[in-house]
Amino acid sequence: MTSKQLFPKWFNYLPIIVLVGLTLILGITIHLFWFWFSPKHLEVGYQPKQPIPFSHELHVNQVGMDCRYCHSNVEVSGHSNIPTTETCMNCHKTIKVDSPAIKTLTEYHNQKKPIDWVKVHMLPDYVYFNHAAHVNSGVSCVQCHGNVNKMTTVYQAKPLSMGWCLECHREPEKYLWPKEQVTNLDFRPDNQLKLGLQLKETYNVNPGEACSVCHR
């Protein structure tokens, strides 16, 4: 015998099922765009294989070199340079010349060819970023590049998304360090907020939030 009812009894729960389902779908969609499709998830941890296994950890942490020895333009130019092979050869003419990596380096140098380093930190073409402006305002390398001094192979540590940039542009006092500590990647002030507010005043830091600050 067929039932007189058109629909089974569980249909009474349909409104609840639909409501819960819609809430879940909405939540998942937002999460999908907000996290899974964002640089936080897609780009952080990008660690390409480099032509020469150069270790920042060895050069900075163990040898104690300053960032600016190699990236010498960072304070004066919008673009921070990758060092030429000549810079490397200043030391490696005499140091570890027998290691296979340095042999590759020497080969590049002798053929007058630049090393094909793979770029790790990439910004879209429509974003204007000036290294000098940031470094000279007390924004340390570590704020955007992470603790490179601890990296054997460089990887992207921060999302470099627009929202992430704006976090600092809106509250620079949370990130500013004294200029002389900018390349000291292990520096951590005791009271960041107090120091930051002070430095914001001294360095006259007024990062804009308007579109044209970065999209020129």
Per CB under 8 A, residues contacting other proteins are 6-7, 11, 30, 33-34, 37-40, 159, 161-164, 166-167
CB-wise, 39 or 178, nearer to other proteins? 39
Q: How far is the CB of 123 from other proteins (least distance, A)?
A: 13
CB-wise, 66 or 167, nearer to other proteins? 167
Query: Do residues 178 and 139 touch, judged by C-beta distance below 8 A?
Result: no
CA angle, residues 89, 95, 101, in degrees to nearest 5? 75
CB-wise, 8 or 100, nearer to other proteins? 8
Q: How far is the CB of 204 from other proteins (least distance, A)?
A: 25
**Phi and psi for 28 in degrees, rounded to 5?**
-65, -40
**Phi and psi for 164 in degrees, rounded to 5?**
-65, -40
3-state secondary structure of 193: helix
Q: How far is the CB of 136 from other proteins (least distance, A)?
A: 25
CB-wise, 22 or 166, nearer to other proteins? 166
CB-wise, 2 or 206, nearer to other proteins? 2
Q: How far is the CB of 188 from other proteins (least distance, A)?
A: 26
CA angle, residues 89, 183, 201, in degrees to nearest 5? 145
Q: How far is the CB of 6 from other proteins (least distance, A)?
A: 5
Q: How far is the CB of 46 from other proteins (least distance, A)?
A: 15
CB-wise, 1 or 86, nearer to other proteins? 1
* Torsion angle (degrees, nearest 10) of CA 177, 178, 180, 185: -20
Alpha helices in the chain (DSSP H): 14-31, 39-42, 56, 67-70, 85-92, 100-110, 131-135, 141-145, 162-170, 192-202, 211-214
